[in-house]
């Protein structure tokens, strides 16, 4: 969107003239802070799932996969529905509040009922709906940037930075709290964080905030087939899955097959996350030089190089030095990928963002499942080669793709 178009949007949008939008325009950190709070809260629950099912409920590890499958399937359906709702001008606040309340209810039930079937049949569904908050927040951020005349690419990068920062702190905090107090108090504490997140949403998100795109979906209208949008999700899937495969295998690969200290994976992740946040901050400059597709191609190639080098690592020094490359490639991917996908449906940011987030969820699920299978048949080092292959496939797709056509309405394929 050019500057004149942005100014026109601002002039016509009643939301831009509202007091709340005026406040957010002056203090955009409120929008970023809301996403940071959500990322911190939701990520706090992530590392407890396996421990809760196996140690807390005394169930077989494979039963965790059932919970994950149900939750991801619900998340995909919710992202699809919420994305279309946003493009049909449903207020963002209603969708976000729905997700937060479901997440809080799920955390409360986990604290109240130590029963596996409650987790599988009720909580996994609630948490699946709760996971829809991420897609809604990304769409909110994109629309907010457009309606206030901000650089969309740079603001998308800031949004991804909040997610990374939340995940840097949330899992470690919840595991530390669990180590002292146990499962039930930890889940109640996370529900308390969700209540703070809910209150922040009520105060920060304007009640009438919705899409300003004239070509957004009308009520009852079907989403037109968009081959370009689907194609854009393919490299996102492979690069994202490569990261999940490696992160899933990394702790056992480092400790059992490389013979490194148990904390080596934690040190490597710390280095990676720090570098990742720094790289995301500078991604807007990279995009201006080479464009989103070529930037994604650079990320995929660097990822393949990283996996090839880490496969041959033998010492802790090797691991920590290469963690810097890990952070560089994934930081570029995280900083560009959402904008890259959204550019293939600029008039339908809700649908495009839901496709993007759903692709990451599916990549994560399949990546986790493949890690277990490959490691069981071969070893954890072999999973690194699989991650390398995934990154190469992502690079190949990007090399043969065309850039998004911004001169014509996209989405009528």
pLDDT digit string, tens, across residues 321-357: 999 999 999 999 998 998 899 889 888 888 888 899 8
Counting Cβ atoms within 10 Å, is residue 405 exposed (0-12), middle (13-18) or buried (19+)?
exposed
Q: Class of 3-204 per CATH? A: mainly alpha
pLDDT tens, position by position, 359-409: 998 888 888 788 878 887 888 888 899 999 999 999 999 999 888 775 433
- CA 352 to chain CA mean position, Å: 14
| The pLDDT of residue 236 is above 80 | yes
| Fold match between domain 3-204 and domain 227-400 | yes
pLDDT score for 106: 96
CA distance 379 to 410: 44
| The pLDDT of residue 285 is above 50 | yes
Q: 129-133, 240-244, 273-277: which has the minimum mean pLDDT? A: 273-277
| The pLDDT of residue 259 is above 70 | yes
Cβ proximity of 362 and 264 under 8 Å? no
The torsion region of residue 291 among left (phi > 0), alpha (psi -120 to 50) and beta comes to: left
Share of the chain above pLDDT 70, in %: 90
| The pLDDT of residue 239 is above 60 | yes
Cβ proximity of 412 and 224 under 8 Å? yes
| The pLDDT of residue 211 is above 50 | yes
pLDDT score for 167: 82
Q: How many CA atoms lie within 13 A of 165 on its CB side?
A: 18
CA distance 241 to 99: 25
Q: Helix/strand/coil (H, E, C) string of the chain?
A: CCHHHHHHHHHHCHHHHCHHHHHHHHCCHHHHHHHHHHHHHHHHHCCHHHHHHHHHCCCCCHHHHHHHHHHHHHHHHHHHHHHHHHHCCCCHHHHHHHHHHHHHHHHHHHHHCCCHHHHHHHHHHHHHHHCHHHHHHHHHHHHHHHHCCCCHHHHHHHHHHHHHHHHHHHHHHHHHHHHHHCHHHHHHHHHHHHHHHHHHHHHHCCCCCCCCCCCCCCCCCCCCCCHHHHHHHHHHHHHHHHHHHHHHHHHHHHHHHCCCCCCHHHHHHHHHHHHHHHHHHCHHHHHHHHCHHHHHHHHHHHHHHHHHHHCCCCCHHHHHHHHHHHHHHHHHHHHHHHHHHHCCCCCCHHHHHHHHHHHHHHHHHHHHHHHHHHHHHCCHHHHHHHHHHHHHHHHHHHHHCCCCCCCCCCCCC
CA distance 126 to 111: 14
Q: 136-150, 170-184, 366-380: which has the minimum mean pLDDT? A: 366-380
pLDDT score for 215: 58
* Structure tokens that stand for 265 in this block: 């994976």
* Structure tokens that stand for 279 in this block: 């790289």
pLDDT score for 14: 43
**Confidence class of residue 64 from pLDDT cuts 50, 70 and 90?**
confident
Superfamily of domain 227-400: MFS general substrate transporter like domains (1.20.1250.20)
Domain ranges of the chain: 3-204, 227-400
Cβ proximity of 42 and 228 under 8 Å? no
pLDDT score for 411: 36
Highest-pLDDT range among 142-146, 186-190, 352-356? 186-190
Q: Distances in Å between the alpha carbon of 323 and those of 271, 308, 374?
A: 6, 13, 23
| The pLDDT of residue 288 is above 70 | yes
Instruction: Summarize the confidence of residues 172-178 as an average pLDDT.
Output: 85
- Average pLDDT along the chain: 86
**Confidence class of residue 96 from pLDDT cuts 50, 70 and 90?**
very high
* Structure tokens that stand for 269 in this block: 């992740």
* Structure tokens that stand for 285 in this block: 């400059």
Cβ proximity of 267 and 355 under 8 Å? no
Cβ proximity of 364 and 241 under 8 Å? yes
């Amino acid at each position: 969107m050019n500057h004149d178009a942005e100014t026109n949007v601002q002039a016509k949008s009643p939301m831009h003239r509202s007091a709340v939008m005026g406040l957010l325009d002056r203090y955009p950190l409120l929008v970023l802070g809301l996403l940071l709070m959500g990322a911190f809260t939701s990520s706090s629950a992530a590392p407890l799932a396996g421990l809760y099912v196996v140690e807390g409920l005394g169930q077989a590890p494979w039963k965790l996969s059932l919970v994950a499958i149900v939750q991801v399937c619900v998340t995909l359906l919710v992202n699809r529905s919420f994305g279309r709702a946003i493009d049909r001008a449903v207020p963002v606040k209603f969708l976000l509040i729905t997700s937060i309340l479901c997440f809080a209810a799920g955390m409360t039930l986990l604290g109240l009922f130590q029963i596996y079937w409650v987790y599988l049949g009720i909580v996994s569904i609630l948490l699946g709906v709760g996971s829809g908050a991420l897609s809604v927040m990304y769409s909110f951020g994109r629309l907010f940037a457009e309606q206030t005349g901000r650089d969309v690419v740079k603001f998308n990068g800031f949004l991804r930075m909040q997610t990374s920062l939340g995940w840097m702190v949330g899992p470690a905090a919840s595991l530390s709290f669990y180590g002292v107090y146990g499962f039930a108090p930890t889940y109640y504490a996370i529900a308390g964080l969700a209540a703070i997140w809910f209150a922040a949403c009520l105060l920060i998100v304007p009640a009438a905030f919705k899409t300003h795109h004239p070509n957004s979906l009308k009520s009852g209208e079907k989403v037109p087939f968009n081959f370009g949008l689907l194609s854009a999700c393919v490299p996102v899937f492979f690069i994202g899955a490569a990261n999940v495969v490696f992160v899933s295998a990394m702790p056992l690969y480092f400790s059992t097959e490389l013979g490194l200290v148990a904390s080596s994976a934690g040190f490597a992740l710390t280095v990676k996350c720090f570098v990742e946040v720094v790289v995301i901050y500078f991604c807007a400059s990279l995009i201006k030089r080479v464009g989103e597709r070529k930037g994604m191609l650079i990320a995929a190639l660097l990822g393949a190089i990283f996996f090839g080098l880490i496969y041959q690592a033998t010492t802790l020094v090797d691991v920590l030095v290469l963690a810097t490359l890990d952070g560089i490639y994934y930081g570029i991917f995280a900083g560009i990928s959402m904008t890259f996908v959204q550019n293939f449906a600029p008039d339908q940011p809700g649908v495009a963002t839901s496709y993007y987030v759903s692709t990451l969820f599916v990549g994560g699920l399949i990546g986790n499942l493949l890690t277990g299978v490959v490691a069981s048949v071969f070893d954890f080092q072999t999973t690194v080669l699989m991650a390398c292959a995934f990154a190469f496939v992502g690079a190949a797709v990007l090399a043969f793709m065309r850039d998004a056509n911004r001169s014509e309405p996209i989405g009528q394929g």
